């Protein structure tokens, strides 16, 4: 959830730009919620109340006993509303919002490079890294090599079984 004030301000400005008013009516917010859900390929649209709370987070933002914020703007909703507000923006053309897990990379940094799928066939992670890297993590590398060992062991045992059967047939003749 996005709770930082810069995201809130950008979200508010986008909503105000779409509706053309500093106090958008609930009907306009409901329409934005439906259109944003289509962009985000979500089956259930965001409601007018959800968007209203996102517009006025300073009123509703309360911390629970663990210090976490209860309300915030969801990443999918934020991206969809930004797309609605600026559909032909150069910043959005040909780009997608993704989650990046990295060490030593600051939030909001631009990651340049082509992503590729991890070589372990069961892993669905796409990553950007140096050209010699085949797996997204050391764990995937370990699991992929374990799968390869299991497969070669299975093949060797099948070959040995077939050889034993042949030798038994020769003995019985």
- Tens-level pLDDT at each residue, the chain (173 residues): 666 777 888 888 888 888 888 888 888 899 999 999 998 888 999 999 989 988 888 777 665 555 556 677 888 898 899 888 876 554 455 555 666 667 777 777 777 777 788 888 888 888 887 778 888 888 999 999 999 999 999 999 999 999 888 888 777 76
Residues 116 and 78 in one domain: no
Instruction: Tell me, yes or no, whether 35 lies in a domain.
Output: yes
Angle of helix 5-19 versus helix 75-85 axis, rounded to 10: 40
Instruction: Tell me, yes or no, whether 32 lies in a domain.
Output: yes
Residues 12 and 80 in one domain: yes
Contacts of the segment 105-111: beta carbons below 8 A, 24+ positions apart: none
Please report, for the chain, how many H helices and E strands are present, in that order.
Answer: 6, 2
Please provide residue 32's backbone torsions phi and psi, each rounded to the nearest 5 degrees. -60, -40
Please provide residue 150's backbone torsions phi and psi, each rounded to the nearest 5 degrees. -60, -40
Q: Are 24 and 11 in contact (CB under 8 A)?
A: no
pTM metric for this prediction:
0.48
Q: What was the pLDDT predicted at 111? A: 74
Residues 9 and 80 in one domain: yes
Per DSSP, the three-state class of 147 is helix
Q: What was the pLDDT predicted at 151? A: 93
Q: What was the pLDDT predicted at 34? A: 93
Q: What was the pLDDT predicted at 62? A: 63
Residues 81 and 124 in one domain: no
Domain range spanning residue 173? 112-173
**How many domains is the chain partitioned into structurally?**
2
Instruction: Tell me, yes or no, whether 155 lies in a domain.
Output: yes
Q: For residue 18, what is the enclosing H or E element?
A: helix 5-19
Residues 81 and 116 in one domain: no
Q: What was the pLDDT predicted at 153? A: 95
Q: What was the pLDDT predicted at 65? A: 57
Q: Which of 85, 102, 132 is the last residue of a domain?
A: 85
Instruction: Tell me, yes or no, whether 93 lies in a domain.
Output: no
Those residues whose C-beta lies under 8 Å from the C-beta of residue 106, and which sit 6 or more positions away, are none
Q: What was the pLDDT predicted at 2? A: 66
């Amino acid at each position: 959830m996005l709770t930082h004030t810069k995201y809130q301000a950008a979200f508010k400005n986008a909503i105000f730009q779409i509706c053309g008013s500093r106090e958008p009516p609930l009907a306009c917010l409901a329409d934005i919620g439906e259109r944003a859900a289509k962009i985000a390929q979500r089956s259930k649209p965001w409601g007018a109340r959800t968007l209203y709370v996102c517009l006025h987070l300073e009123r509703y933002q309360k911390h629970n006993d663990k210090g976490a914020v209860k309300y915030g703007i969801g990443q999918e909703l934020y991206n969809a509303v930004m797309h609605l507000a600026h559909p032909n923006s150069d910043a959005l053309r040909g780009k997608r919002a993704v989650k990046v897990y990295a060490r030593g990379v600051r939030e909001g940094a631009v990651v340049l490079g082509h992503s590729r799928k991890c070589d372990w066939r069961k892993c669905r992670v796409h990553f950007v890294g140096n050209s010699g890297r085949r797996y997204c993590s050391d764990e995937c590398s370990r699991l992929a090599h374990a799968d390869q060992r299991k497969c070669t062991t299975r093949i060797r045992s099948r070959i040995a079984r077939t050889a034993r059967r042949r030798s038994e047939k020769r003995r019985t003749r």
